[in-house]
Amino acid sequence: MRVTVLYFAWLRERIGHAQDQVETDAATVTELVDQLRARDDRHALAFADLTAIRVAIDQDLADLDAPITGAREIAFFPPMTGG
């Protein structure tokens, strides 16, 4: 399946761009992360410490082991600091 992967804040900066279009067979977020890490060094560096990363599947917060089947938009970002 094809998903849009979005990056925010320092993830976006480390990767160097705000989104990737990804063709994937990943069943979970974690599997997708493994695939993204393999793209290049920047992705590998950005995803080095998963405890510092949060994920949203189709704009809802999710766990890293959540299934992504059918998802269209998956976003990665650091813990939120609004308010």
Binding residues for another protein (CB under 8 A): 6, 8-10, 12, 56, 59-61, 75, 77-83
Residue 6 vs 64, nearer CB to another protein: 6
CA distance 1 to 22: 8
- Give the nearest distance from C-beta 44 to another protein in angstroms: 20
How would you list the strands of the sheet with 2-7, edge to edge? 19-23, 2-7, 73-77, 54-57, 60-62
Count of C-beta atoms within a 10 Å radius of residue 40: 12
- Give the nearest distance from C-beta 75 to another protein in angstroms: 6
- Give the nearest distance from C-beta 38 to another protein in angstroms: 25
Based on C-alpha coordinates, what's the Rg of the chain? 12
**Structure token pair of residue 75:** 């976003």
Residue 21 vs 38, nearer CB to another protein: 21
Residue 25 vs 82, nearer CB to another protein: 82
